[in-house]
Structure 1
Amino acid sequence: MTDAGADDEGRRVLYVIVCAAGPAGDVGKLVTLAHQRGWDVQIIATPSALDFIDAEALEKQTGRPVRSHYRKPGEPRSPKADAIIVAPATYNTINKWAAGISDTYALGILAEAPTLGIPVTVLPFVNTALAARRPFQQSVKDLRNEGARVLLGSGGFEPHAPGTGGGQIETYPWQTALDEAEHALPPH
């Protein structure tokens, strides 16, 4: 490592935590955008997200294994993250993270990020029925109070009516998440 957070070539490292939601199959779009801006990308998938993504294609695209479980003793560590994007972020992941639950590798990464000073950008994918729930609204508020940039509402992700999520996949704002993640970085 050349420094904390940089990969072996000195590039910034972006963790992309992908959850089991409609846009997950298109996470390669975010990887492409990040590569164009000089990022090295590590994909971390929730266990349920593995059914939504093409892990083999993402491993070829990133040059890194898709991680969904804690590493075994002796396995190489991933490089340290300079920034994290959670996209698509589900109702379940947002609520568990805010409640301090760390029952997956992805949630373990998120549980530590605020106290390690790693900027986290969250791009939800939820419907209006879930977004209207008081526990979800409280979770978003709590995460924002801890410094997470939750892009929900105007300028971020606008929740869709239940049953219409499939129509939102093509317009999912991957670039907005990357723009916000870069904006959150401390100056060099």
Structure 2
Amino acid sequence: MTKPVLYLIACAAGPAQYIDVGVRAGQADGWDVCLILTPAAASWWEPRMQELVELTGHPVRSRYKLPWEQDVLPKADAMLTAPMSCTTLNKWGAGIADTLAIGIPSEAVHMGVPVAAMPYFNQAQGAQPPVARSIAVLREQGVLVLDGPDGYEPHPPKQGNPEAYPWGKALAAVLRRPGAA
């Protein structure tokens, strides 16, 4: 029996430096985890990218494929964008899919794939008016945005704790999504 496939999509936010913890948590929950990173998050892992490839058993993607290239990842049963930066949230909410990490889930949610997203940014970033609008837009499209008590509550500026990011809470929410394996 094959495991259901989860695309774990990480932005360059503090917890991305611990994305291996998120991958292992997803694997422990029974997922075949494929990893997609924003270009900035990929640069953080560049010296150790092979560790992530070995951990997932799949290539780690961070850019759109070229027209003649084959898809290298299996089809996703569900997607989780975590950690989601304020930048990614607002670009996604505005329909700007300039990175693979935004393009993949922005299409998937309209193709019936369960998509969840859990942010990681501080209270000052979260206070920007586009943040609430972007969350509302994503929710209107069917994205489960895990913010506040149900996910991640923005931390005071300069007081984040990326090691304490609640991967388990995000993964549990994905499993509860209709259609998720």
| Deviation, structure 1 residue 177 | 0.6
Matched AA of 2:170:
A
Task: Report if aligned partners of 2:110, 2:141 keep a CA contact under 8 Å in 1.
Answer: no
Output the CA distance in 2 between the equivalents of 1:66 and 1:154: 31
> Residue 34 and residue 187 in structure 1: after superposition, are their counterparts in 2 closer, same or farther (change >3 A)?
closer
Match of 1:27 among 6, 19, 41: 19
1:60 aligns with 2:60: no
How is 1:19-168 mapped onto 2 (pairs within 5 angstroms)?
Answer: 19-53=11-45, 54-72=48-66, 73-165=68-160, 168=161
TM (norm. structure 2) is: 0.92
CA-based RMSD of the aligned residues comes to: 1.5
1:170 aligns with 2:163: yes
After TM superposition, the runs of 4+ consecutive aligned structure 1 residues lying more than 4 A away are none
| Deviation, structure 1 residue 128 | 0.3
Matched AA of 1:66:
V
Query: What residue number does 2:2 align with?
Result: 10
Task: Report if aligned partners of 2:114, 2:179 keep a CA contact under 8 Å in 1.
Answer: no
Query: What residue number does 1:184 align with?
Result: 177
Task: Report if aligned partners of 1:70, 1:105 keep a CA contact under 8 Å in 2.
Answer: yes
Matched AA of 2:62:
S
Q: Mark the runs of 5 or more structure 1 residues left unpaired by the alignment.
A: 1-8
| Deviation, structure 1 residue 38 | 1.8
Which of the two has greater helix per residue? 2
Matched AA of 1:180:
A
Q: Mark the runs of 5 or more structure 2 residues left unpaired by the alignment.
A: none
The count of aligned residue pairs is 178
Matched AA of 1:58:
L
Task: Report if aligned partners of 1:21, 1:52 keep a CA contact under 8 Å in 2.
Answer: no
| Deviation, structure 1 residue 187 | 7.2
Once the two structures are aligned, what percentage of the paired residues are identical? Answer: 42
SS in 2 for 1:44: strand
